[in-house]
Structure 1
């Protein structure tokens, strides 16, 4: 169980006592986390300090104007919150990891970009040189929400301080530089504590149900190959309920669930159990997947069909490693679709959704 201790907070716990997000008291936050650790500590596997502190919905002010420049005020506030929060959790007796960050993926006119936020919270300048007056934060990992757009997992945001799932290397590089500057402990893991692909019925931001399953699987493969990623989570299980108003207002929540708001399973529901990625090259297509859950090597059967309505035929079987991950190749084809079948130890057979091949950029 991951517990994220976050704002908004009671008004009396802020500096101005006017709202629930502006300059929350780090001292009182530390007292609160201590009590949480004392009460819930034995049930918690990891703690995270604050949800999306680089977003104005959770922490204010994000910026403070000084002359012609803007300071990243939220990041400075967050450093104090993290220090007091981590100290409170430790005093409360927790032995679970305490995570820094849980940052939103992109900066805007009102939100600080995640890497700019990271540098400021760690007292680093643009060249990742640390101010001598700042010590190293006692963080056991860095949490991030690597959401992408409907452009898919390979989307590359133009702003270099943004981090979506397709450019996790930016975050890996930033953490390596922060470790070198002695702003973070060496070997800081990345925890992708929130991730999902928006789908229909949100036609403005979402993709088709089949694409959702395919994009989610590709995203998991990118996380698996990242090297630093320790956790890759799914948000949500079930879509938010529609809201009154226009279509934009109706689907202004999250349609990233594995089930629709009515409870019906989308293709990504079985795609979460059996992720499958088909990457098409010049002469061959590489098939990669995961069996979830398994803690030992297991056999999977891969099927194919020509087009979207042809009959399924058995292609081959393959065997996973102890983490459930497997990979194989087949001849390149632009028209084929693939699926995976797996028989669990209790004899139940599960079938993943149809998956098209993609050409990686």
Structure 2
């Protein structure tokens, strides 16, 4: 929303009056439409904390909520929940669609869902494989990732939705289906040429599982994808597939951006009906407004690349919006973060860069209305696992807001109060954006510093219902801006955002 600015009555010095005159000239008025707009929710993905260690999630979930987390990504792991995971055939008489079967083991997922709900955090549930060996279309290969049986997986998905339908309304079908760790084969390769095969396999899985979830859980939203942002030009059948060619094959989109059902992988094609696309927009080590060099991949700054492609596939009949056939398909960024140095000296960015760029990323997403979720990948670093030389010496994720030993990185302090300021080309006004987390209507105080002077209060701003605000200020010289706020009823416990420096251009 555009901020409604309230002059601070106790401060009537000439400098403040001049500043407020500049503010008035920039037309600060409220916008009712903006005030009711639903912006991206704040998410978290940390599989260690939501994993199988008793007491870990119980300790962290209250901290997540106080930091403004709306949604936590969790998984219903077919292989861990199903019985006899290494057998080539399912148990005699086992009904995979029955959540009451005593052969299913729901205990860990029950606990995770209950803890999140008790802390007023919405679970976003990824129903995924790999599954038990008997869930493969060819168990004799003894590869659990090989061509999951769509019918058997749909039975499991139905059981999940029947058991958790009262607690969960958002589901994702499968995790990173364009990565060989979860699904093979990724491609069909012959005579030195490879073509994507996992999109067809996944399409068959999704087209069975999504209707099964919706039938069991009325009103459920089911998202496709959870695609990895990276891939390679495949030389072998198990090489990961880049997301852009993967999506084109998923929707059977041919040259000229028209439907092409001529290939074997598009025989008996049926478009997938989805409520959104889940995606992991990896920026690598670049700030969030920089596009990736490869047009076959997509980071946060490449959101329009993804939405244009989705629109093209949808127009060609390759995918359908299940919620509203006339509406475009929205994006859900479930994993986003920056690997840091320390500890990763090869792939990590500095701690200060992580701090700044996570805040800027939240601002970038705010202005991309089709992005409905931005999920921080890792609250706490995973332990460093040395698996070789160079990059391999820092295996695991170190993109957390906290180090593995619990010490806070700078980003932890500012995650609940992201703030950004910028000046566009040939402009003498600073555009401010910020959010107070958890969301809700708040009154924040904007502060400005010129040179080495102390910060001075210049205006009060009312946020929208999600805690967001925007504002503009005329500037004639280099300035620093920040904001502060205090919980209702507390005049002394004020929190301060990071300070951002800007100069007229």
- 8 Å CA contact 1:277–1:357 kept in 2: the answer is no
SS state at 1:87 partner? helix
Matched, 1:86 2:205: no
Aligned to 2:328: 187
Moved over 6 A (4+): none
From the superposition, tell whether residues 206 and 305 of structure 1 become closer, same or farther in structure 2 (CA, over 3 Å): farther
SS state at 2:224 partner? strand
- 8 Å CA contact 2:213–2:220 kept in 1: the answer is no
Report the alpha carbon displacement of residue 310 of structure 1 after superposing the two structures with TM. Answer: 7.7
Report the alpha carbon displacement of residue 339 of structure 1 after superposing the two structures with TM. Answer: 3.0
Paired residue for 1:344, among 487, 496, 501?
A: 487
Q: Which moved more, 1:174-183 or 1:87-96?
A: 87-96
Aligned to 1:264: 407
Residues 197-231 of structure 1 show CA distances to partners (whole Å, capped at 9, x for unaligned) of: 22221232222222112111211222221121111
Report the alpha carbon displacement of residue 80 of structure 1 after superposing the two structures with TM. Answer: 0.8
From the superposition, tell whether residues 151 and 38 of structure 1 become closer, same or farther in structure 2 (CA, over 3 Å): same
Q: In 1, distance between residues paired with 2:408 and 2:448?
A: 22
Question: Of the two, which has the highest radius of gyration?
Answer: 2
Q: In 2, distance between residues paired with 1:351 and 1:178?
A: 45
**Structure 2: any 5+ residue segments left out of the alignment?**
1-122, 234-238, 262-267, 322-326
Instruction: Kindly tell me the number of residue pairs found equivalent between the two proteins.
Output: 358
Aligned to 1:8: 130
Matched, 1:320 2:463: yes
SS state at 2:159 partner? helix
From the superposition, tell whether residues 266 and 311 of structure 1 become closer, same or farther in structure 2 (CA, over 3 Å): farther
Aligned to 1:302: 446
Q: Which moved more, 1:95-104 or 1:59-68?
A: 59-68
Aligned to 2:250: 121
Aligned to 1:290: 435
From the superposition, tell whether residues 356 and 52 of structure 1 become closer, same or farther in structure 2 (CA, over 3 Å): farther
Report the alpha carbon displacement of residue 90 of structure 1 after superposing the two structures with TM. Answer: 2.4
Aligned to 1:150: 285
Aligned to 2:275: 140
SS state at 1:34 partner? helix
Report the alpha carbon displacement of residue 337 of structure 1 after superposing the two structures with TM. Answer: 4.5
Q: In 1, distance between residues paired with 2:481 and 2:391?
A: 34
Matched, 1:253 2:396: yes
**Structure 1: any 5+ residue segments left out of the alignment?**
none
From the superposition, tell whether residues 134 and 359 of structure 1 become closer, same or farther in structure 2 (CA, over 3 Å): farther
Aligned to 2:369: 227
Q: In 2, distance between residues paired with 1:340 and 1:32?
A: 49
TM-score (norm 1): 0.90
Matched, 1:37 2:37: no
TM-score (norm 2): 0.66
Matches within 5 A, 1:74-113: 74-109=198-233, 110-113=239-242
From the superposition, tell whether residues 137 and 333 of structure 1 become closer, same or farther in structure 2 (CA, over 3 Å): farther
- 8 Å CA contact 1:129–1:181 kept in 2: the answer is yes
Aligned to 2:181: 57
- 8 Å CA contact 1:279–1:359 kept in 2: the answer is no
Aligned to 1:208: 350
Q: Which has the higher contact order (CA 8 A, sep 6+)?
A: 2
